[in-house]
Each structure stands twice: as C-alpha cells, then as structure tokens.
C-alpha cells in the first residue's frame, strides 16, 4: 500500500534556527514527490516537485532533497512568516496523477 509518513508532527523553532522536516514514503513506482505549504483555512500552496533520487530544489530559505526512501525539507534561518503546515505528497505510477498526502508537519517560528 502506498504510504507517506511525515515527522515531526509539530516543530517549534526560534527565528534563525535552521532545521529539517522529514517525509518517508513507500510507493509502487514513484512518479514524483511534492512539497506544499498550507496556511490555516487555505488550500495547499505548491513549493517543489522532485522526480529522482539525488535531486535537490531550492526556493528562498527552503531546500528539498530526495532519496529512494525519503525526502527532506531543509529550512535555513527561518522567519516567523515561514510558520505553516508543510505537506508532503507522492504520485505513484499506478495512481494516475492523484496525490497521496502525509499528515503534515506544523512549523511555528517565533521571533
């Protein structure tokens, strides 16, 4: 069964304190791994898509990496405005283009 597990469930950081969020997955043929940011009461905002092990993508303070079993979202020197829930999702070859989501990591950054 295709599955996505994110850890930790919640993370509290001080402004400027770098850290990483983990996304472990089991899927029957990975078509793509997606990272989204979701603010309370809003739809997910697209961040990155990764397709193969070893791939890395960066956007401002965020950097996503991918291995054959997991992905990391590294947050460098976070700011309070980075506070949100970060969702990881996979797209399996057999599932068409539907995404399977993890439960998310809720990040709180305090100044």
Partner 1 sequence: GAVVSQHPSWVICKSGTSVKIECRSLDFQATTMFWYRQFPKQSLMLMATSNEGSKATYEQGVEKDKFLINHASLTLSTLTVTSAHPEDSSFYICSAPTGKEQYFGPGTRLTVT
Interface ranges with partner 1 (CB under 8 A): 32, 34, 36, 41-46, 49, 51, 87, 89, 91, 96-104
Phi-psi region of 66 (alpha: psi -120 to 50; beta: other; left: phi over 0): beta
Taking the least distance from each CB to partner 1, the nearer of 25 and 34 is: 34
CB of 108 to partner 1, least distance (A): 15
Taking the least distance from each CB to partner 1, the nearer of 16 and 29 is: 29
Q: How far is CA 36 from CA 3, 46, 86, 98, in A?
A: 17, 5, 6, 15
Q: Strand 84-92 vs strand 30-38: parallel, antiparallel, or unpaired? A: antiparallel
CB of 84 to partner 1, least distance (A): 14
CB of 85 to partner 1, least distance (A): 10
Taking the least distance from each CB to partner 1, the nearer of 97 and 111 is: 97
CB of 103 to partner 1, least distance (A): 4
Q: Are 2 and 90 in contact (CB under 8 A)?
A: yes
Q: What is the rounded distance in angstroms from the CA atom of residue 1 to the CA atom of residue 21?
A: 23
């Amino acid at each position: 069964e295709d599955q996505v597990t994110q850890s930790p469930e919640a993370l509290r950081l001080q402004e400027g304190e770098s850290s990483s969020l983990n996304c472990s997955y089991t899927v029957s043929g990975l078509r793509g791994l997606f990272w989204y940011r979701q603010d309370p009461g809003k739809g997910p905002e697209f961040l990155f898509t990764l397709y193969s092990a070893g791939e890395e993508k960066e956007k401002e303070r965020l950097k996503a990496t991918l291995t054959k079993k997991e992905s990391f979202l590294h947050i460098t020197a976070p700011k309070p405005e980075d506070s949100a829930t970060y969702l990881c999702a996979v797209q399996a070859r057999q599932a068409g283009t539907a995404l399977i989501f993890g439960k998310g990591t809720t990040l709180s950054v305090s100044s």
